[in-house]
A and B are shown apart, each in its own frame.
Chain A
Amino acid sequence: MTGVLEKMTLLTGGDGGLDDHLARHGRLPALDGDQIVGLARDASLTGRGGAGFPMWRKLGAVAAAGTPATVIANGAEGEPASGKDRLLLTRRPHLVLDGLHLVALATGARAAHLYAPAALLPRLREALSARRAAGLDKLPVTLTAAPGAFVSGEESAVASAVAGRGAVPTDKRIRVVATGTLVQNVETLAHLALIARYGPGWFLSAGTFLATVSGAVVRPSVVEARYGVPLGDLIAASGGATERLQAVLVGGYHGGWVPADPALPVSPEALARYGASPGAGVVVALPARACGLAESAKIAEYLAGQVAGQCGPCVNGLPRMAGTLADLAAGRPRPGLAGEAARLAALVTGRGACRHPDGTARLVLSAMRAFEADVAAHLNGRCLATGGRL
């Protein structure tokens, strides 16, 4: 790693205060809206909130909405297994706020918001005062506290919360961007702030993503790497596995289980083969002696409890689906149990205002596929992973 690269990555040292930020990166160059969209396009910058949507397309859609734009930096991080957004907002708030300023310019926005957990807001308020004193931002940034809930980071819930209506997902007949609202994950904005200084070419060759590694690792941590990084490298960067691994959950609680293959590249293309994607960069390592079905059942139960509560198929279907997986995990078999879980997964998918039922169904189906051998064993009263009777 050369000195130049050290300077230009997200998570290098420093206190993250404004002076440190300006000393490290300097002020943003003067750019107009078209240039900013061009930068995002040429760098192929994709969203880091989970969906991986190309940022320049979103900027274009918001501009095309024809209404005064609102830009929102989404730092809610409702995903329990993710810690990168909190880390960025604590250690690199000015990169995030630079990025917010850039998208505000790019969309001609009239309002800018930062949405983050309440605990982080006091320090963010200080960061905003420092920026105001230095005359850095075109628009004042309004802070809104994100409730500690799984769906609080969902795009329409973010827009709703910032508008004072609570973090409640809304119907998608009209897409959020079509209302002139741009919601971007804080990490995506931080990358844009670096691209504006160092160029799209630099990002294409040296741009990174943040992974939160947890589970059976020595030092659960946030690791900065390039897409395509082998899974083993991420685990090694977290101190290595504490014991032999069985599988790894990638993408978060709405993600999928992949084999614990150290050579497996963490990239959209390589993970697609397993029906998974990097998502918001979550990596959870499952030890060999833990039951994958039991862990998945716990996650499904958590997700069922985190429904927003508005949509019939989700409110009714998720607890039933989680219960079916729990019965399977606990060895309470009945005829057609596995088929029932799959049927419920198909029944809830696409039938809600947001993608919470879809993501939960995806996790359940992924678990049934990844731990297929244990599904059969459990139906016969045994667990392969724990090696015992149920």
Chain B
Amino acid sequence: MADSTYPIPGSVEATPRRWSQAAILEWLNSWVITVDHKKLGILYMLYAIFFLLVGGAEAIAIRIQLIQPNMHFISPQVFNRLFTMHGTTMVFLVGMTYIFGFANYLIPLMIGARDMAFPRLNAFSFWMTFFGGLLLYYSFIGGGGLFGAGNAPDTMWWAYAPLTERAFSPGHAPDYWALSLIVTGFGTIGASVNVIATAFCMRCKGMTVMRLPLLVWINVVASGLALITITPLTAAQIMLLIDRYLGGHFFDTQAGGSAMIWAHFFWIFGHPEVYVLVLPAFAIASEVIPVFSRKAIFGYPVMVAASVGIAFVSLGVWAHHMFTIGMTSVGNAFFVLSTMLVGIPTSMKIFNWLATMWGGKIRFATPMLFCTAFVVQFLLAGLTGIMLSIAPWNWQLHNSYFVIAHFHYILVGAIVFCIFGGIYYWYPKVTGRMLSEKLGKWHFWLFFIGFHVTFDIMHIPGLLGMPRSIYTYEANRGWGTLNMIVSIGGLIQAIAVLIFAVNLIWSYFKGKEAGNDPWDAWTLEWSTPSPPPAYNFATDPVATSRRPLWDLKHPDDPDWKYE
């Protein structure tokens, strides 16, 4: 960056350069008005990391309340708000934002483009998401004030009607929930449209659709799925607001409305939503694992087909969240089958990652540590998912701590692990400096241990009859020791995440210089300087295969011979 103060000719002494207020404001302004995909990607990631910490703090408070029976750490009202906000925050403000953080930053770089297809839409989508989150958190200071936790949503992140109808939730908690998520929903739609349009319409020469890096492909599939799945939630929330404010009767059983239909609409959104959250984690793993195994991804076309297959089948499995609600036996059986079927393309992906590592030369740098742990944890989560898909067993396990353990295995064990892996992998590209490997290994091992202590053990109270969403439990149920272990694991994870935050900040100033391609990788983003200039590529690249840089580094054995 050029220094712009020149000594005024004829002046007695040159004024030393100082960070003037104007310069700082200009720098801040550049972030607020930016339409550059890289800056927006960073903004999304900072937002996600911030809310990961906030949601994590909510989780720690929950775990302290549950560490022993009959604790009085927080009141039932506050507890109900905390677990609702924890879920809502993690799904919408961390899950939906990390996706677009990685996608926005990486997709144009990976396809040799200068920016996303619609830069201004990109900025609009981020700020809609941002303000939606603010509105959600404003709820804490609305209503009766902070110690009762204000008017924060308190009816679970699923907000089941009729509990959220006016009659049973007279305050404004469901309104904050519905309105803030409608706002972020606009952001999600905009960002998804942008991802799809960019991947199909902005590719550089030679980059056919079957040469797109898997990260791009999988994000396209996730965005397509998001388009179909977010609007049902918006629809249900509009219906809820109509019931609450315009006297509607959608969920009013006194007027003939249905108590079941909210559940159906919510899970028609809710199930594909979790695939929207997890597919980009697959995307990250599919980039990291090949590079650190030193082999091309095994079965690229199958990986693409499996991702598309997962997206399609996931649209038809939603009622496995409702096996106990009273569907017919035929209905239950159908959803058992569809849920098991979605496990097949998913298992194919696990095998493909394994096959990529097979015969490779695996380097266990921090990104690879996280992605390897991801594979085994995702396997376990998939298996507990199969257990939950067995409807009769689900009648016991539904709404118990077994389910919480299962989905945290995915959300933390798969998604958060891949987010960490992805950050360690691409941080050098974004900032030009490597993250500390030493701190990274501390972060990994502490987080891994804490994760397993918490979420392995958490399955057991579920098997022993402990339901979810309870602010306390009876002392003689035999759940006390198990809960204590679970809570301690949570504290270990918190320490690990703090180490991560320290690493992020310290390495920004003191990390080793990264250069263009510190990992010896093969996709186009590694051909740019670190960080890339505003225009990304000085000349438009031409893609010759799925791994353009491999072709350049190995002109005697390029990939295009084998595709």
Decide if A and B are genuine partners. Answer: no
Residues on B facing A (Cβ under 8 Å): none
Residues on A facing B (Cβ under 8 Å): none
